[in-house]
């Protein structure tokens, strides 16, 4: 009898690889598991029910890393470690021959039961370098990570079998594009252009204007212009959205302005994903930005800038993905009718200033495009043409970036800007004259101008592209008041 260790996974959006260690030595029968002897007793009963003849032994088991508790989906891994420590498995069994990660709940009769949503666990296993996994046969359709070798098991007895008897294929999934709302919009040309730039290059956008000008529909229209997720993105989306099943599209999240910090960023114990994570690889729409609470707006800076969110709970912390495209809308003042020729604004200077200040400062610096949506409706635009142009700009980027995870200019890290953005002579000259308030703003200007050049089918970025990017870098509503320092 000996020591054995079996890989398994913790559950939830912050799933991580854990292992169950067991040691067995001949002696008085005594089974204990750090903190959870009941679990071990249950699994012992299940082994006996399944016909294993358990030798007299003192057995000790626990979950590592230290501090992790045994969770229901670790039942099968605990059983596997015990069988292995008690030397009850044949050498050619999947467990001894392949050291797989094992996921599954157990009934007392020894049947393997569903283990919650598998996708986040499988993604985490693949990222940790695990090659083979044992999962419940009843959850075959959730085996969506293509890089893993799957063994589908029905009962605890299946752990005795070699891989070939259990092996099955990864489940197929379908990738879908979002429907476009753009077909029904009448937009001024400059707004339509800004929406196309935001969608083509994954640039965050703020739409400012009086009520009823279609700001929210504009923000939603971006979803229909984004390309479908690639395979890696789709898997990441699936691991956060079990409700999508095997038809995956970019998520669109529209949290209400009364949302709490936890609802937006995530948290709790066990950790739950917040809206910023639920919008990962998709669109996060914040309607009426100034109505969100100040702490919520401040807290968005990290995910907008770093594309992740750090959640601390006690001594522990979790990092969840949060690479979303932010589309925000706002009225220009509390009543909404500042500079609106149709209705008189009833707000005082002080009211307007404090309203605007709430969305300015650090967050404003992270919004690449700031667009004024005028009260007068625009001409009919052809969404079909916009779609084609956006798709072409996206394929130009794909060609430039080559293989790798980068797909959009808006996600270019600062150290790659120089390689990826070639300026023409006029572009260089223009840039020398630009006085950007911060490096972040300057980098944003370069990324946006690269996307504008892509929309214009231009390999080099000219002064006209930079000028247009600069035009979109600050709303007129902020120019009048000057940037706030909230
Ligand atoms: Zn007003």
Instruction: List the chain domain ranges.
Output: 3-168, 182-481
Ligand 1: centre distance to CA 375 (Å): 14
Tell me, in angstroms, the distance from the centre of ligand 1 to residue 477's CA. Answer: 12
Cα 291 to averaged position of ligand 1 atoms, centre (Å):
14
CA of 209 from ligand 1 middle (Å) equals: 11
Question: pTM, whole model, 2 decimals?
Answer: 0.89
**Interval between CA 215 and ligand 1 midpoint (Å):** 17
Q: Ligand 1 center to residue 368 CA distance, Å?
A: 25
Residue 47 binned pLDDT confidence (cut-offs 50, 70, 90): very high
pLDDT of residue 483: 41
Tens digit of each residue's pLDDT (9 = 90 or more) over 434-480: 877 788 889 999 999 999 999 999 999 999 999 999 989 877 777 65
In terms of Cα–Cα distance, which of 235, 60, 32, 51 is closest to 147? 235
Whole-angstrom distance, CA of residue 295 vs CA of residue 272? 20
336 CA from centroid of ligand 1 (Å): 5
Rounded CA-CA distance 461/452 in Å is 8
Write out the two tokens for 7: 């890989």
In angstroms, what is the span from residue 333 Cα to ligand 1's centroid?
A: 5
Q: How far is the CA of 211 from the centre of ligand 1 (A)?
A: 11
pLDDT in tens, 229-270: 999 999 999 999 999 988 999 999 999 999 999 999 998 878
Do 397 and 412 meet the contact criterion of CB atoms below 8 Å apart? no
pLDDT at res. 317: 77
Instruction: Using the mean position of ligand 1's atoms as its centre, give its distance from the Cα of residue 354 in Å.
Output: 12
Ligand 1 centroid distance, CA of 343 (Å): 9
- 212 C-alpha to ligand 1 centroid (Å): 14
Rounded distance from Cα 335 to ligand 1 centre (Å): 4
Quick one: pLDDT band at residue 176, thresholds 50, 70, 90? confident
182-481: which CATH number, 3.40.50.300, 3.40.640.10, 1.10.760.10, 3.90.180.10? 3.40.50.300
Nearest alpha-carbon partner for 208 in 372, 53, 43, 10: 372
Q: How far is the CA of 340 from the centre of ligand 1 (A)?
A: 9
Q: Does domain 3-168 have CATH number 3.40.50.970?
A: no
pLDDT tens digits, 265-285: 998 878 889 999 999 999 999
């Amino acid at each position: 009898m000996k020591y054995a260790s079996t890989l398994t996974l913790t559950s939830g959006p912050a799933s991580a690889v854990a292992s169950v260690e067991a040691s067995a030595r001949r002696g008085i029968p005594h089974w204990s598991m750090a903190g959870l002897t009941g679990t071990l007793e249950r699994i012992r009963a299940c082994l006996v029910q399944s016909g294993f003849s358990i030798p007299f032994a003192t057995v000790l088991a626990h979950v590592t890393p230290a501090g992790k508790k045994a969770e229901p989906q670790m039942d099968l891994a605990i059983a596997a470690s015990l069988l292995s420590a008690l030397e009850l498995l044949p050498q050619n069994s999947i467990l001894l021959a392949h050291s797989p990660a094992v996921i599954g709940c157990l009934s007392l009769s020894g049947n393997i039961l569903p283990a919650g949503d598998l996708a986040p666990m499988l993604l985490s296993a693949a990222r940790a370098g695990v090659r083979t996994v044992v999962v419940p046969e009843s959850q075959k359709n959730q085996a969506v990570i293509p890089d893993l070798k799957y063994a589908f098991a029905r009962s605890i007895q299946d752990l005795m079998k070699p891989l070939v008897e259990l092996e099955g294929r990864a489940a197929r999934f379908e990738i879908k594009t979002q429907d476009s709302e753009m077909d029904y919009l009448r937009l001024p040309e400059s707004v339509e252009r800004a929406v196309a730039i935001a969608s083509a290059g994954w640039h965050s956008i703020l739409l400012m204007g009086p009520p009823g000008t279609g700001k929210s529909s504009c923000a939603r229209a971006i979803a229909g212009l984004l390309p479908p997720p690639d395979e890696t993105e789709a898997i990441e989306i699936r691991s956060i959205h079990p409700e999508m099943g095997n038809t995956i599209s970019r998520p669109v999240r529209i949290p209400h302005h009364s949302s709490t910090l936890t609802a937006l960023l995530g948290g709790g114990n066990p950790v739950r994903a917040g809206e910023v994570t639920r919008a990962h690889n998709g669109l996060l729409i914040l309607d009426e930005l100034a109505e969100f609470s100040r702490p919520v707006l401040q807290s968005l800076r990290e995910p907008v800038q770093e594309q992740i969110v750090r959640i601390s709970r006690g001594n522990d912390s979790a990092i969840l993905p949060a690479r979303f495209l932010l589309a925000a809308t706002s009225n220009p003042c509390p009543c909404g009718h500042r500079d609106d020729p149709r209705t008189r604004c009833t707000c005082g200077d002080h009211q307007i200033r404090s309203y605007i200040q709430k969305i300015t400062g650090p967050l404003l610096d992270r919004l690449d495009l700031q667009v004024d949506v005028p009260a007068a409706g625009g001409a009919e635009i052809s969404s079909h043409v916009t779609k084609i142009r956006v798709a072409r700009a996206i394929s130009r980027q794909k060609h430039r970036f080559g293989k790798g995870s980068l797909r959009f200019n808006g996600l270019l890290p600062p150290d790659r800007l120089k390689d990826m953005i070639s300026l023409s002579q006029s572009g260089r000259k223009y840039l020398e004259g630009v006085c950007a308030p911060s490096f972040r703003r300057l980098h944003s200007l370069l990324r946006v101008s690269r996307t504008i050049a892509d929309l214009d089918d231009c390999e080099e970025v000219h002064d006209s592209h930079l000028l247009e990017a600069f035009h979109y870098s600050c709303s007129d509503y902020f120019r009048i008041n000057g940037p706030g320092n909230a």
